[in-house]
Amino acid sequence: MKKLKLSLIVVLCLSLHYLSAQVDYDKVGEVTSSFYLQNVHIVQSPGKIIEGGAVLIKDGIIQQVGSAVKIPYDAEVIKADSMYVYAAFIDGLSHAGVKKEENNEERPKVRFPGDPPDEVAGITPGKEVATLYDAKESSVSKMREAGYGIAHIVPRGKMLPGYGSIVSLSGDADKNTLLKENVSLFSQFKTSRGVYPGTIIGIIAKYKDLYRNATYKMKHNKSYVMSPQGMERPDISDAEAAFFPVIENKMPVFIVTEKHKDIARAIQLKKELGFDMVVADVEQGYGMHKKLKGMNIPVLLSLSLPKEMKEDKKEKDKKEKAEDGKDKKEEKKKEEKIEKKTPEQIALEKRKKESYDQYITQAAVMEKDGIPFAFSMINSKPKELQATIRRMIAAGLSEKAALAALTTNAAKLLKIQNIAGTVEQGKMANLMVSDKPFFEEGAMIRYMFVDGQKFSYEAKKKKAKKNSEGEEVDIEGVYSYEATVPGEVQTGTMRIEKDGDNYKVIIISDNDPTDEDKGENVNLDGNNLTYTLDLEGMILAFDVEFSDDEFDGTVSVGEFGSFPLTGTKKSDPE
Amino acid sequence: MYKIYISVVLLFLSVLLYGQVEMGDILIKNGNLITITDGEKMETDILIKDGKISAIGKNLAAGGAKEIDATGMYVMPGIIDAHSHAGIDAVNEGTNPITPEVWVGDALDPFDITLYRALAGGVTVSHAMHGSANAIGGQCETIKHRYGVMDPEEMRMDGAPRTIKFALGENPMRSHGEGRNVPPRSRMGIEQEFRRSFAAAKLYQKEWAAYKSGALNVPPTYSERNEVLADILDGEIIIHCHSYRADEIVMLMNVLEDYGVSKICFQHVNEGFKVAPELAAFGAQASVFADWWAYKFEVYYSTAFNAAILAKNGVVTSINSDSGELIRHLYHEAAKSQRYGDLSDTETLKLITLNPAIQLGIDDRVGSLEKGKDGDLAIFKNHPLSIYTVPQYTIVDGVIRFDIENQVADMRLDVNPEETIPAFYEQEHGHEHDACMEGVYEQLFGERE
Amino acid sequence: MQKFIYIGLIIFLSINLQGQQVAKGTYKTVLLENAEIHTVTKGIVKGSVLIQDGLIAGVGAIANIPADAEKIDCSGKRIYPGFIDAGCQLGLSEISSISLTNDAREIGDFTPHMKALTAVNPSSVSIPVTRTNGITTVLTKPSGGKFPGQAALIDLWGYTPDQMYAGFEAPLLSFPSTGKRGRWDRRSDEDIKKDSNEAMKKLNEIWDKAKLYARMDSSRVAVRKEKTNYNPQMDALIAAVRGEDNLLIEVNSKDDILEAISWVNKHKIKAILTGVSDGWRVADSLAKYNIPVVTGPVLSVPSRASDRYDISYANAGKMQQAGVKVAIRTNDTENVRNLPFNAGFAATYGMGVDEALKAITINTAEIFGVGDKYGSIEKGKIANLFVCDGDPFEMKTMISHLFIKGWNVPMENRHTLLYEEYLERSPGLEK
B276 touches chain C (CB under 8 A): yes
Structure confidence by residue, pLDDT tens digits, A265-320: 999 999 999 999 999 999 998 889 889 999 999 999 999 999 888 766 666 666 66
* Span A30-88+421-460 CATH architecture: Roll (2.30)
Chain B residues with CB inside 8 Å of C423's CB?
305, 308-309, 312
Can you tell me the mean pLDDT for A91-114?
Answer: 82
Q: Tell me, what amino acid is at B61?
A: A
Q: Tell me, what amino acid is at C383?
A: A
Contact A113/B439, CB-based, under 8 Å? no
ipTM passes above 0.90 = yes
Question: Would you state the torsion angle of the CA atoms of residues B152, B154, B156, B159, taken in this order, to the nearest 10 degrees?
Answer: 150
Cross-sheet strand order for the sheet of C293-295: C83-88, C135-140, C150-155, C165-174, C246-251, C270-275, C293-295, C326-328
3-state secondary structure of B140: strand
Give the global pTM: 0.86
Out of A29-38, B57-66, B232-241, pick the least confident.
A29-38
Can you tell me the mean pLDDT for B382-386?
Answer: 97
Query: Which pLDDT score is estimated for C130?
Result: 96
Contact B338/C395, CB-based, under 8 Å? yes
Contact C299/B329, CB-based, under 8 Å? yes
Dihedral sign, Cα of residue C361, residue C362, residue C368, residue C370: positive
Cβ atoms of C52 and C65 closer than 8 Å: no
Interface test with B, best of A195, A196, A201 (most B CBs within 10 A): A201
- CATH 3.20.20.140, chain A: domain bounds: 89-101+112-308+343-418
Query: Which pLDDT score is estimated for A522?
Result: 86
Q: Is the pLDDT of residue A102 over 90?
A: no
Chain B residues with CB inside 8 Å of A199's CB?
90, 92-93, 102, 107, 439, 443
Q: Which of A87, A21, A20 is nearest to A419 (CA)?
A: A87
Q: Is the pLDDT of residue A321 over 70?
A: no
Confidence category of residue A566, pLDDT binned at 50, 70, 90: confident
Confidence category of residue A561, pLDDT binned at 50, 70, 90: low
Confidence category of residue B446, pLDDT binned at 50, 70, 90: low
Whole-angstrom Cα distance, residue A335 to residue A323? 18
Query: Which pLDDT score is estimated for C255?
Result: 93
Distance from CA of C334 to the nearest CA of B (A): 7
Cβ atoms of A505 and A531 closer than 8 Å: yes
Can you tell me the mean pLDDT for A98-103?
Answer: 78
Secondary structure letter of residue A175 according to DSSP: S
**For chain C, which residues score pLDDT lower than 50?**
13-19
- The CATH number fitting domain B79-366, selected from 3.40.190.10, 3.30.750.24, 3.40.50.720, 3.20.20.140: 3.20.20.140
Contact B106/A204, CB-based, under 8 Å? yes
B302 touches chain C (CB under 8 A): yes
Give C 366-405 residues with CB within 8 A of chain B: 391, 393-398
3-state secondary structure of B329: helix
Burial of A342 (0-12, 13-18, 19+ CB in 10 A): exposed
Nearest to B291 among C182, C310, C335 (CB): C335
Contact B277/C425, CB-based, under 8 Å? yes
Nearest to C95 among B292, B296, B447 (CB): B296
Q: Is the pLDDT of residue B435 over 90?
A: no
All partners of chain A with 3 or more CB pairs under 8 angstroms: B
Contact B302/C415, CB-based, under 8 Å? yes
Percent of chain A scoring above 70 in pLDDT? 85
Whole-angstrom Cα distance, residue C309 to residue A515? 63
Cβ atoms of B327 and B84 closer than 8 Å: yes
The residue extents of the domains of chain B are 1-77+368-412, 79-366
Can you tell me the mean pLDDT for A125-136?
Answer: 90
Instruction: Report the number of secondary-structure helices (H) and strands (E) in chain B.
Output: 13, 16
Query: Which pLDDT score is estimated for A173?
Result: 66
Nearest to B96 among A115, A201, A208 (CB): A115
Query: Which pLDDT score is estimated for C73?
Result: 96
Provide the b/e sequence for B414-442 (b: ≥16 CB within 10 Å).
bbebeeeebbbbbbeebbbbbbbbbbbbb
Arithmetic mean of pLDDT over chain A? 85
* Span A477-571 CATH architecture: Beta Barrel (2.40)
Instruction: State how beta strands B237-243 and B162-167 pair.
Output: parallel
Cβ atoms of A170 and A453 closer than 8 Å: yes
Nearest to B224 among A194, A209, A215 (CB): A209
Whole-angstrom Cα distance, residue A315 to residue A317? 6
Whole-angstrom Cα distance, residue B245 to residue B170? 10
Query: Which pLDDT score is estimated for B229?
Result: 97
Query: Which pLDDT score is estimated for A17?
Result: 46
Report which of residues B385 and A111 the model is more confident about. Answer: B385
Confidence category of residue A13, pLDDT binned at 50, 70, 90: very low
Instruction: Name B280's Cβ contacts closer than 8 Å, sequence gap at least 6.
Output: B313, B314, B315
Whole-angstrom Cα distance, residue C79 to residue C136? 13
Report which of residues A522 and B246 the model is more confident about. Answer: B246
Distance from CA of C333 to the nearest CA of B (A): 7
Q: How many CB pairs under 8 A join B and C?
A: 175
Structure confidence by residue, pLDDT tens digits, B113-124: 999 999 999 999
Interface test with B, best of C354, C415, C417, C424 (most B CBs within 10 A): C415
Backbone φ and ψ for B279, nearest 5 degrees, come out as -60, -45
**Cα-based distances in Å from B178 to A185, B171, B175, B182, C98:** 38, 10, 6, 8, 14
Percent of chain A scoring above 90 in pLDDT? 51
Cβ atoms of A167 and A144 closer than 8 Å: no
All partners of chain C with 3 or more CB pairs under 8 angstroms: B
Query: Which pLDDT score is estimated for A20?
Result: 55
Confidence category of residue A343, pLDDT binned at 50, 70, 90: confident
Burial of C245 (0-12, 13-18, 19+ CB in 10 A): middle
Cβ atoms of A168 and A150 closer than 8 Å: yes
Whole-angstrom Cα distance, residue B315 to residue B280? 5
Contact B422/C278, CB-based, under 8 Å? no
3-state secondary structure of A279: strand
Structure confidence by residue, pLDDT tens digits, A390-439: 999 999 999 999 999 999 999 999 999 999 999 999 999 999 999 999 99
Question: What is A39-64 written as a DSSP string?
Answer: EEEEEEETTEEEEEEEEEEETTEEEE
Query: Which pLDDT score is estimated for A559?
Result: 58
Query: Which pLDDT score is estimated for B3?
Result: 52
- CATH 2.30.40.10, chain A: domain bounds: 30-88+421-460
Class of domain A89-101+112-308+343-418: alpha beta
Chain B residues with CB inside 8 Å of A359's CB?
417
- CATH 2.40.128.120, chain A: domain bounds: 477-571
Chain C residues with CB inside 8 Å of B426's CB?
177, 179-182, 252-253, 303
Q: Is the pLDDT of residue B44 over 90?
A: yes
Whole-angstrom Cα distance, residue A144 to residue B360? 58
CATH number of B1-77+368-412: 2.30.40.10
Cβ atoms of A72 and A32 closer than 8 Å: no
Chain B residues with CB inside 8 Å of C337's CB?
291
Q: Is the pLDDT of residue B42 over 50?
A: yes
Confidence category of residue B444, pLDDT binned at 50, 70, 90: low
Chain B residues with CB inside 8 Å of A216's CB?
219, 221-222
Among chain B residues, CA nearest to A354: B417
Contact C177/B302, CB-based, under 8 Å? no
Contact A348/B92, CB-based, under 8 Å? no
Query: Which pLDDT score is estimated for A539?
Result: 81
Distance from CA of B90 to the nearest CA of A (A): 6
Contact A113/B96, CB-based, under 8 Å? yes
Per-residue 3-state assignment (H helix, E strand, C coil) for chain C: CHHHHHHHHHHHHHHHHHCCCCCCCEECCEEEEEEEEECCCCCEEEEEEEEECCEEEEEECCCCCCCCCEEEECCCCEEEECEEEEEECCCCECCCCCHHHECCCCCCCECCCCEHHHHCCCCCCHHHHHHCCCEEEEEECCCCCCECCEEEEEECCCCCHHHHEEEEEEEEEECCCCCECCCCCCCCHHHHHHHHHHHHHHHHHHHHHHHHHHHHHHHHHHCCCCCCCCCHHHHHHHHHHCCCCEEEEEECCHHHHHHHHHHHHHHCCEEEEEECCCHHHHHHHHHHCCCCEEECCCCCCCCCCCCCCCHHHHHHHHHHHCCCCEEECCCCCCCHHHHHHHHHHHHHHHHCHHHHHHHCCHHHHHHCCCCCCCCCCCCCCECCEEEECCCCCCCCCCEEEEEECCEEECCCCHHHHHHHHHCCCCCCCCC
Structure confidence by residue, pLDDT tens digits, A350-371: 999 999 999 999 999 999 999 9
Contact A230/B217, CB-based, under 8 Å? yes
Nearest to B423 among C98, C180, C425 (CB): C180
B193 touches chain C (CB under 8 A): no
Among chain B residues, CA nearest to C419: B305
Contact A201/B138, CB-based, under 8 Å? yes
Query: Which pLDDT score is estimated for A198?
Result: 93
Structure confidence by residue, pLDDT tens digits, A495-516: 888 877 788 888 888 877 777 8
Distance from CA of A462 to the nearest CA of B (A): 28
Q: Which of C199, C141, C173 is nearest to C270 (CA)?
A: C173
Query: Which pLDDT score is estimated for B108?
Result: 97
B443 touches chain C (CB under 8 A): no
Whole-angstrom Cα distance, residue B295 to residue A220? 53
Contact B332/C304, CB-based, under 8 Å? no
Query: Which pLDDT score is estimated for A165?
Result: 95
Cβ atoms of A242 and A213 closer than 8 Å: no
Q: Is the pLDDT of residue A42 over 50?
A: yes
C344 touches chain B (CB under 8 A): yes
3-state secondary structure of A531: strand
Q: Is the pLDDT of residue A56 over 80?
A: yes
Question: What is A241-278 written as a DSSP string?
Answer: HHHHHHHTTSSPEEEE--SHHHHHHHHHHHHHH---EE
Question: What is A81-111 written as a DSSP string?
Answer: TT-EEEEPEEEEEE-TTBPPPP---SPP--S
Q: Is the pLDDT of residue A21 over 60?
A: no
Query: Which pLDDT score is estimated for A344?
Result: 87
Whole-angstrom Cα distance, residue B71 to residue B406? 19
Among chain B residues, CA nearest to A351: B415
Cβ atoms of A110 and B92 closer than 8 Å: no
